[in-house]
Amino acid sequence: MDAVSIARCSDYSAAQVQRAVHDALTPLGGMSAFVSEGQRVFIKPNLLSKAEPERAVTTHPEVLRAVIREVRACSPASVSVGDSPGGRHSATSIRGVWDACGLTAVCAEEGADLVLLDDDVVRVPNPSGSALYAYFNLGRAVVDTDVLIDLPKFKTHGFMMFTGAVKNCFGCIPGLEKAQFHLKVPDRDDFGEMLVDLMLACAPKLAIMDAVVGMEGEGPAGGTPKHIGAVLASAGCVELDVVASAIAGFDPMEVYTNKAAVGRGLGPKTADEVDVHGTPWRELVPDTFERPTRDLSRGMPPWLGRFARRVITSKPCLERRNECTGCATCKVNCPVSAITMVDHRPSFDYDKCIRCYCCQELCPPQVIGLKTPWLVRTLVASGRGRRA
C-alpha cells in the first residue's frame, strides 16, 4: 500500500506552494523517486472548464508551477502539460480555458509545453476487458510519456460524491467522448468501475492534490470554495483519494471510485489504514463541510434503483434564467439528448435524463443548478454541515 504525504499550505503564494509541494514529496523520496534524467514527463491538472483560479474549479496554477519546478530539477528530457476539458472544444476554445485557468502564463514562464490532447488520440485496451468499453481513446501525450503526474483538485462531485486522483484521469479522454461514457455506463457504481479501469490504463506514477482551497457542496463546478490548507501527495491514486475524501467528511466507501477500487483489492477502506506522513489528516477536517446531494437509490435492486433515481435524485434545472447566455453548451454535451433549447434557454426532459449532471458541470455561466426533491432535502438535512 502506498503512503500519503500531507504538507500544510495556507495560501497560494508562490513561496508557500513551492515549499508545501517539496515538503509533501520529501517523505516519498522526493521528485527524483519518480522522475529520472532524460525522461519525458506529462503533467495532467484538472481543467474542467473555463474558470478563474479563485473559483476553485481547477488545479491552481501555482501548484502546477511548483510541480514543474520539482520535475525540472530532475533534468527530464521534456515537460508537457495538458488536459481535455469537458465538452466540445476547438484548439482556440481550449487555449481560452488555459488562459482563464492561468496555465498559459505559468507554462510559458517555466518552459513547459501545453499539449492539445484532442488533436492526436491513441486507442488503448481496457485492462479489465469490459465488453461495455473494450478500449479507451487517450491523448497520445498521455500514452507516450515516461512519467504521468496526476494533479487533481480537492472537490465534491454530484455524480461520484468526491473527485480526486482517480476521477482526474477522465480528462485524458478527448472532448465529447467523455459524455458518451455516461450513456454507456449510467449507473454510478459502474461508472466508478470504469474510472478505475481508466486510471489503470493511464497508470499515473505520482499524484499531487491541490487541497489549499477545495470545493464543497454541488461540485465539481457549481459548489463553494472551501479552505482546506494542504497539499497531498502519493504514488497511489486510490490511497490519496481515500485520505482526501475522509478529510471532506465522507466515509471513503461512499465515494464510488473508492468503493470500486477497494472491491478489487487496490486500496484501503479507511484513511486510518493508510501510512500518512506529515500533517495528520484529522487536523485538516473542517468544522463544517457541505456534501453534494446523496444518491438514495444506492444499494437498491437495479430496477428499483432506476425508478428511484427518477423520483428522489436531484434534477438539473435552470436556476437563474436571466443570466443564461443561450450558448447551448448543456444541450451539446447531454449524452442522452434530454435538453432542447426553447426561446434560447434549456428545457429538460426528465424522463430521458440520466442524472449525470454534465450540463451543470459544464455550464459556462454556472446558471444550471440541481433541484432536490423535498423528501431528499429532509432526509439529508441532518447530514449536511456535520463534522466528520
pLDDT higher than threshold 90 for residue 210 = yes
At residue 29, the 3 state secondary structure works out as coil
Let me know if 283 is exposed, middle or buried by CB neighbors in 10 A (0-12, 13-18, 19+).
exposed
CA distance 80 to 257: 27
Tell which residue, 40, 77, 73, has the closest CA to residue 205.
Answer: 40
CB 114 within 8 A of CB 96: no
Phi-psi region of 31 (alpha: psi -120 to 50; beta: other; left: phi over 0): alpha
pLDDT, position 148: 98
Residue with the larger pLDDT of the pair 226 and 370: 226
CA distance 235 to 326: 43
Q: Does domain 4-284 have CATH number 3.40.50.11440?
A: yes
What sign results for the dihedral spanned by CA atoms 353, 358, 364, 365?
positive
pLDDT higher than threshold 90 for residue 357 = no
Q: What's the whole-number mean pLDDT along residues 363-381?
A: 71
How do the domains of the chain map onto residue ranges?
4-284, 302-383
Range with the poorest average pLDDT among 170-179, 231-240, 247-256: 170-179
Q: What's the whole-number mean pLDDT along residues 267-293?
A: 96
**Cβ neighbours of residue 191 under 8 Å, at least 6 residues apart?**
159, 160, 181, 182, 185, 256
- 13 band by pLDDT with thresholds 50, 70 and 90: very high
What sign results for the dihedral spanned by CA atoms 282, 296, 373, 87?
positive
CATH class of the structural domain 302-383: alpha beta
Grid cell digits, residue 247: 478529510
At residue 77, the 3 state secondary structure works out as coil
**Cβ neighbours of residue 202 under 8 Å, at least 6 residues apart?**
138, 142, 148, 169, 172
The amino acid sitting at 37 is: E
For residue range 112-149, list pLDDT tens digits in order: 999 989 888 999 999 988 878 899 999 999 999 999 99
- 370 band by pLDDT with thresholds 50, 70 and 90: confident
Q: 225: which strand partners?
A: 215
Predicted TM-score of the model (pTM): 0.89
Range with the poorest average pLDDT among 111-120, 196-205, 324-333, 379-388: 379-388
Q: Encode 307-326: b = buried (16+ Cβ within 10 Å), e = exposed.
A: ebbeebbbebebbeeeebee
pLDDT, position 387: 37
